[in-house]
Amino acid sequence: MSKVQAFLNKIAPGIVSTCAKHKILPSLVIAQAALETGWGTSELATKANNLFGLKANNTWKGPTYTKVSAEHLRGQKVSLASQFRKYDTWSDSIVDHAKHLTSQLRYKSVVSEYDYQTACFSIAAAGYATDPLYASKLINIIERNNLIKYDKQLLNEINSTHRKERT
């Protein structure tokens, strides 16, 4: 089994379930996790269980992990030491990421967006990452790995729920 498939097998069920509750496209979230962690192999993923590169700001009350990361500031790529959120499990990281997206007004256009390309451009425009190519990289991961199949599962669940509510 490839590294990619092993990573997808490990995270996709939890992401699909969490995304269904929060109305976020699984393809977007899986692509973010893949990009941010190198398919689960990064230092942040292996030592801090942080799949999404979420930093620990002044509202974060949990443990932290300090790491140097590449940032794009004023058109320049620089390395900065940052405090990142540290989790007990990857599942905790997935749930916190969904809460992060749904609790901040700047990500409003990402929640309940069911077109993966629009969602990728929306999350990038909202400032999720400093990389100017962030949206394009996410779209590339989604398309190369057929991650929209996970969106179809979510959309089928949503449509099924709506049908039940109307009857």
Cα 154 to its chain centre, rounded Å, is 16
To the query of whether residue 165 is one of the catalytic residues in this protein, the response is no
Residues for the chain: how many in total?
A: 167
Please give the Cα distance from 20 to 22 (Å, whole number).
Answer: 6
To the query of whether residue 71 is one of the catalytic residues in this protein, the response is yes
Nearest partner of 51 among 4, 87, 82, judged by Cα:
87
Element holding 150 (H helix, E strand): helix 148-166
Tell me phi and psi for residue 147, to 5 degrees: -75, -10
Distances (CA, A) of 92 to 1, 2, 15, 49, 133: 25, 25, 11, 8, 27
Number of C-beta neighbours around residue 83 at 10 A:
13
Determine which one of 71, 131, 143, 157 is catalytic: 71
Determine which one of 36, 88, 92, 96 is catalytic: 96
The residues assigned a catalytic role are: 71, 96
